[in-house]
Amino acid sequence: MDLKKVMIFGVPFLHITMDQFVETINEHVEKNEKIQIITANPEIVMKAKEDSYYKDLLIKATYVTPDGIGIVKASEILGDPLPERVAGYDTMIRFLELANKHNYSIYLLGAMEEILKGAIHTIETQYPNVKIVGSHNGYFDWNDPSIPNEIIKRQPDFIFVALGMPRQEKWISYHFHKFDKGIFMGVGGSFDVLSGTIKRAPLVWQKLNLEWLYRLMKQPSRAKRMVALPKFAYEVIREKVTRKNE
């Protein structure tokens, strides 16, 4: 299927709603296909703008979706609007719901052992039909073949990789050729949220598109990383002005 893409600074974002995306992914699962998904936020787009390594990761992925309101707003300003956010944590939850409905299997890779255990406990409790066929914490020797071998053996439908960006994308790209099937997705800090260690912003904040501010208040150490946001906004406006003058 040829789905429409919206280019933002050379990054091809999928023009799709969350519901359509879940449906599309379900079709891939039914056909036992192999897919890589990257949910990209402004910080990642800014990195890709300056770093060809990041850009390559994004271009090679099967699907890139907009992680955050910043990307959606940018697409509106640049005149080719994306329908909505298809963000990492929300997408993982939708996939867990899908897996629960169809008895799909999953493999979890990443986070600290206790966090991983907590995430597994939440999934077992809230999505009882999901088959967790394997898991490993995120602190391992990259040369040890046992994790990819385990995935090859267990054939999970979904492989959620929570090593942070770009580590998780790097891990997926590096091993991708070894696998026959599976929906591979980097999910950042999602296991931390699933385990209850990190709380998401209350719904009102999410609805007001202020989740980023909530996270900043809870984890002030993120401030350095968030410098990418105003830089991104500036670049989007500059791009718009440049296009207008052309």
Binding site for ligand UDP (CB under 6 A): 110-112, 115, 138-139, 162-165, 167, 188-189, 191-192
Nearer to ligand UDP, 13 or 104 (CB): 13
Nearer to ligand UDP, 30 or 114 (CB): 114
Tokens of 1: 């299927």
Nearer to ligand UDP, 12 or 164 (CB): 164
Residue 99 CA: distances (Å) to CA of 18, 43, 65, 137? 16, 30, 20, 21
Rounded to a whole number of angstroms, the minimum distance from the CB of residue 166 to ligand UDP is 9
**Residue showing the smallest CB distance to ligand UDP in the complex:** 138
**CA dist., res. 152 & res. 191, Å (int):** 22
Rounded to a whole number of angstroms, the minimum distance from the CB of residue 162 to ligand UDP is 5
- CB distance 84 to 6 below 8 Å: no
Nearer to ligand UDP, 156 or 166 (CB): 166
Residue 245 CA: distances (Å) to CA of 37, 137, 241? 35, 51, 6
Rounded to a whole number of angstroms, the minimum distance from the CB of residue 38 to ligand UDP is 11
Q: Give the length of the chain.
A: 246
Rounded to a whole number of angstroms, the minimum distance from the CB of residue 176 to ligand UDP is 19
**CA dist., res. 240 & res. 246, Å (int):** 10
Nearer to ligand UDP, 158 or 191 (CB): 191
Rounded to a whole number of angstroms, the minimum distance from the CB of residue 134 to ligand UDP is 16
Rounded to a whole number of angstroms, the minimum distance from the CB of residue 212 to ligand UDP is 12
Rounded to a whole number of angstroms, the minimum distance from the CB of residue 2 to ligand UDP is 29
